[in-house]
Structure 1
Amino acid sequence: MTTMQNPGGSTPQVAAQTAAGLPGTGVNPAVAPATRRTEPYLRLQWNDTVTGAVGYLVVHTLRAGLATGGTRMRAGCTLSEVEDLARGMANKTATFDLPIGGAKGGVDFDPKDPRAVEVMERYFEAMRPWLDAHWVTAEDLGVPQHLIDEVFDRLGLDQSFHAAIRRAADPAATCERVRRGLNAEVEGGFLLGDVIGGYGVAHSCLAAAVSWGQVPAETTVAIQGIGTMGGSAAYYLHEAGMKVTTVADAAGTLHCADGLDIPALLDLRDEYNEVDRTRLPENVEQLPRSAVLSAEADILVPAAISYAITPDNSFDVRARVVVEAANAATTPEAEAMLAARGVPVLPDFVANAGAVAWAWWLLLGQVDDAPDTSFDRLRTVMHTKVAQLMAAWTEQGVTPRETGHRWADDPAPVTGPVVIP
């Protein structure tokens, strides 16, 4: 395993901050950019001698000895990608006043490879010193929560929130509370832990529509990715009365101008969250995968991969607002180009932070396994934060990301150890 130092130079996020305030970006130049921490606390690289897979851990910030952030697996995963994601996690935890720092894990390996679970187990074994005492992880792209928990169980760590649970006054009781919350059943046959993040994204979209005075029934949405996050966001938007006209998976884009039957569509997904095209209704049009970005919709939700919206395709976006359900879904350059056209981007560290915020509310005993309690709290928080982001954009020309960064740069202080009941 290699501990890496920062090689120097700017990151995409630094470029984004440099762009803030320049003419034509839609940012008020009179508002100075917030100070950003660009250097992570720690970088680790792991090399799998069996398969050649490479894994990374980046801890961007450590607060009270803890950091939180999921673990992803995809072919082509890079250190810079994991570093960007860890920075985003630090923004999430600070923005939502959570008493921990931000981190991220990533493995450069195909999650569909039959050896993927073995690779994951060796990676977590290598990262065990951090998992045991400092790093709380969870599912991410290519790594479902149940597989993480199975691997943790084999390693004798019980559950992926282990580093926090072990600090509790009664670790067994806390672990049981976490398990009950994650596995609480909700309407639609889902589990609360699987859908809470998408529920938060859905209400970010609803709050954005409210900010411009549009009712759900008159609002259209396009969603790139219908896995755990995108699929649950689509479900709750559909339930709220919004018209989800376009969705995309790895096989392409599906479109229906009158609105897709989202619950029926989700039932057609396979284990890789791809829709069975042979069972689609006749009124569903099949389009190229990239077509989702140019869909005629009020709201675009990139919920699949990082860096989905780039300078090359940003002018294809026709939506009124972009809501990032995927981490780092929009490159800084593309976001500046969208802002210049009057299209705000609700940043991932607010829009998709519902899952991490809820997980820590659960750990701290502030919510339990009653879904309505969790939904009510997250809905209230999301509507409040998005309303403030959109007000700053419409009234002052300050991008939602810049407003969010100001929140993240002034987190609630952590003056002692995190107390977990």
Structure 2
Amino acid sequence: MRTDRIDPLLRLTWTDPVTGTRGYLVVHTLVSGLATGGTRMRASCTMSEVEDLARGMANKTAAFNLPVGGAKGGIDLDPKDPRAFDVLKRFCSAMRPWLDAHWVTAEDLGVPQHLIDEAFADLGLQQSYHAAIRRSTDPERTLRRVQAGLNAPVPGGLLLGDVIGGYGVAQACLGVAASWAMRAEDTTVAVQGIGTMGGGAAWYLHEAGMRVVAVADAAGTLYDPAGLDIPALLESRDAFGEIDRTRVPGGVRRLPRGEVIALDADILVPAAISYALTPDNAMDVRAKVVIEAANAATTPEAEAMLAGRGIPVIPDFVANAGAAAWAWWLLLGEVGADPADSFLRLRTEMQAKVALLLGQWSIDGMPPREAGLRMAAQNRAEREAQPENDAALLIP
């Protein structure tokens, strides 16, 4: 079944009784009675956006052959608003029937994992993976495993749960370089967005030896063709992922925020907002490939324009699926608290998928999104042919 061609199972609109803020839940598909997808918060979030993201989650879970469907939550509010956390808690309370039994949510744009876990704890649900954990033969043991994995320390002073998504994006970039016989040290990258996903990707690309020449946050673009000191820049970020400009070296150029798209780099990683690449700026892209770290980062029209110029787009439901795939491997006990095991599993699967997509692009010009959708559809069809596997799904 092509999950990009079916209507969602559920569209739900919520209005906060205190502030009037709108919130949305879209469940695109249920598999084994479950759907997974984060909850985002941003000003001007719409039902249409959340529906696109839920569809992407359904493709993501199918592409990585996970035993779960796709969903997404969204709240139309600036996360910097002082009322934001209370609105998030009321949204979760209103969504409790789904969160209790069917919807496994997590962090997303504007909602870090620790905040959504705090909202769940206030509801007595302990952790945002609750709907899956409650199916376990031993929920307390599974909760301990999940918490141990999320909080496992990794080099750089961060936690595994905070960096695994960005690590997956970095592996997608490294997979492109390997497929095209590009040496890491000769490859340049521009990253739009330096929050959890973009920051993690930039860190691991820097660690791998790639030259990250540009990063952009809400305040603008920082550019140095010789390569940026990524660890130092990340260390200077505030709680909203913005870099302290007083700590930026004098030799780094400061450009408008949108300039990151047009800079000379081998790989462009849009990791900030949905619909960052549109027909208005697609012709400005100078990269050889686009890796979608943000959900729905490229509009269909822009992607067609890029393909016409010979620039493939590795779609979000593959490139940024690392966090979702890893969460389910963790829930199912396929990885544990040792980061090395998680990194190996994700590195192996991500690079193999990217190689497959680029192979189709090189052989017959098939856009990576189309190749990815075919892969997802095949996985879903094989799963549907053996429904007993999902019906009997138990979390160990």
| TM-score, length-scaled by structure 1 | 0.91
State the 1:38 CA deviation: 3.0
Cα deviation 1:350-393 (Å, max 9, x = unaligned): 00000000000000000000000000010000110000000100
State the 1:50 CA deviation: 0.9
Indicate yes or no: 2:100 matched with 1:132. yes
Indicate yes or no: 2:247 matched with 1:247. no
Q: Which residue of 2 aligns with 1:50?
A: 18
Partner amino acid for 2:154? V
Q: Secondary structure at the match of 1:143?
A: coil
Partner amino acid for 1:88? G
State the 1:151 CA deviation: 0.6
Superposed, which structure 2 residues align to 1:197-212 within 5 Å?
Answer: 197-212=165-180
State the 1:211 CA deviation: 1.3
State the 1:35 CA deviation: 7.6
Q: Secondary structure at the match of 1:73?
A: strand
Task: Spell out structure 1 runs of 4+ moving beyond 3 A.
Answer: 33-36
Indicate yes or no: 2:200 matched with 1:232. yes
Indicate yes or no: 2:184 matched with 1:216. yes
Q: Which residue of 1 aligns with 2:66?
A: 98
Q: Distance in 2 between matches of 1:294 and 1:211?
A: 24
Indicate yes or no: 2:385 matched with 1:417. no
Q: Distance in 2 between matches of 1:166 and 1:34?
A: 30
Superposed, which structure 2 residues align to 1:14-29 within 5 Å?
Answer: none
Partner amino acid for 1:128? R
- Compute the RMSD of aligned alpha carbons: 1.0
Cα deviation 1:387-420 (Å, max 9, x = unaligned): 0000100111000000000011122414223211
Q: Which residue of 2 aligns with 1:315?
A: 283
| TM-score, length-scaled by structure 2 | 0.97
Partner amino acid for 1:153? A
Indicate yes or no: 2:362 matched with 1:394. yes
Indicate yes or no: 2:315 matched with 1:343. no
Q: Distance in 2 between matches of 1:213 and 1:184?
A: 33
Partner amino acid for 2:393? V
Q: Which residue of 1 aligns with 2:254?
A: 286
Q: Distance in 2 between matches of 1:261 and 1:177?
A: 35
Q: Which residue of 2 aligns with 1:171?
A: 139
Cα deviation 1:71-104 (Å, max 9, x = unaligned): 0000100000000000000000001000000000
Indicate yes or no: 2:245 matched with 1:266. no
Cα deviation 1:196-240 (Å, max 9, x = unaligned): 010010010011011111110000000000000000000000000
Partner amino acid for 2:257? R
Indicate yes or no: 2:126 matched with 1:151. no
Q: Secondary structure at the match of 2:25?
A: strand
Indicate yes or no: 2:335 matched with 1:367. yes
Unaligned runs of 5+ in 1: 1-32
Q: Distance in 1 between matches of 2:392 and 2:312?
A: 38
Q: Which residue of 1 aligns with 2:344?
A: 376
Question: Does the CA contact (< 8 Å) of 2:3 and 2:59 recur in 1?
Answer: no
Question: Does the CA contact (< 8 Å) of 1:256 and 1:284 recur in 2?
Answer: yes
Q: Distance in 2 between matches of 1:41 and 1:47?
A: 20
Percent identity, please. 68
Alignment coverage as a number of residue pairs: 389
Q: Distance in 2 between matches of 1:358 and 1:35?
A: 21
Q: Secondary structure at the match of 1:325?
A: coil
Question: Does the CA contact (< 8 Å) of 2:4 and 2:55 recur in 1?
Answer: no
Question: Does the CA contact (< 8 Å) of 1:36 and 1:409 recur in 2?
Answer: no
State the 1:37 CA deviation: 2.6
